[in-house]
Amino acid sequence: MSEVPSRLSAVTLGARDMAGLRRFYRDLGWEELPASDDNWAGFLLGGVLLTLYPADLLAAEAAGGAPAPAGWSGITLICNVDRREQVDPAFAAAVAAGATVVAEPVDRSWGGRSAYFADPEGNRWEIAWAPGTRFDARGALIGLDG
């Protein structure tokens, strides 16, 4: 048995503009945790905690003080929806909240449908429907058939 449990508990985004990034995620309709402020903010998303932390402080902790890289990091966060027909309206809601369009919704060669947007600081999100995804009552991914 591994000493490292096979789970993802939280994802932290380094924020250059905490107030603006907090506002964007609240404008998506996501509930911010009561302990949030401009030094740390959290959003519980189906069993995974999305946290926002000032980029300079995160760099000091996680990158040995090296500055945060500019541009896309190569990491994409994914918000899966329950049905194919939910991709387009979810994508439109993100854009209405201030997201930048990266790629419009399309049917993918792997059988699903997805689109990409960037939050106000360039973090990439994919809104996706994938055949065979299963979620529990709180929205946590519990399986992927196929």
* Cα distance between residue 23 and residue 30, in whole Å: 10
Spell out the domain ranges in the chain.
1-55, 72-139
pLDDT (tens digit, 9 = 90+) per residue, 65-92? 777 666 777 789 999 999 999 999 999 9
pLDDT of residue 1 exceeding 70, the answer is no
The pLDDT-based confidence of 4 (bands split at 50, 70, 90) is confident
Bridge pairing between strands 48-54 and 76-80: unpaired
Q: What is the pLDDT of residue 66?
A: 76
CATH number for the domain whose boundaries are 1-55: 3.10.180.10
Q: What is the pLDDT of residue 60?
A: 83
pTM of structure: 0.86
The pLDDT-based confidence of 41 (bands split at 50, 70, 90) is very high
pLDDT (tens digit, 9 = 90+) per residue, 97-134? 999 999 999 999 999 999 999 999 999 999 999 999 98
User: Domain 72-139 adopts which CATH fold?
Assistant: 2,3-Dihydroxybiphenyl 1,2-Dioxygenase; domain 1 (3.10.180)
* Matching fold, domains 1-55 and 72-139: yes
Q: Tokens representing 126?
A: 């994919």
Burial per residue of 35-59, b for 16 or more beta-carbon CB atoms within 10 angstroms, e otherwise: ebeeebbbbebeebebbbbbbeebb
**Long-range contacts, stretch 60-65, CB < 8 angstroms, 24+ apart:** none
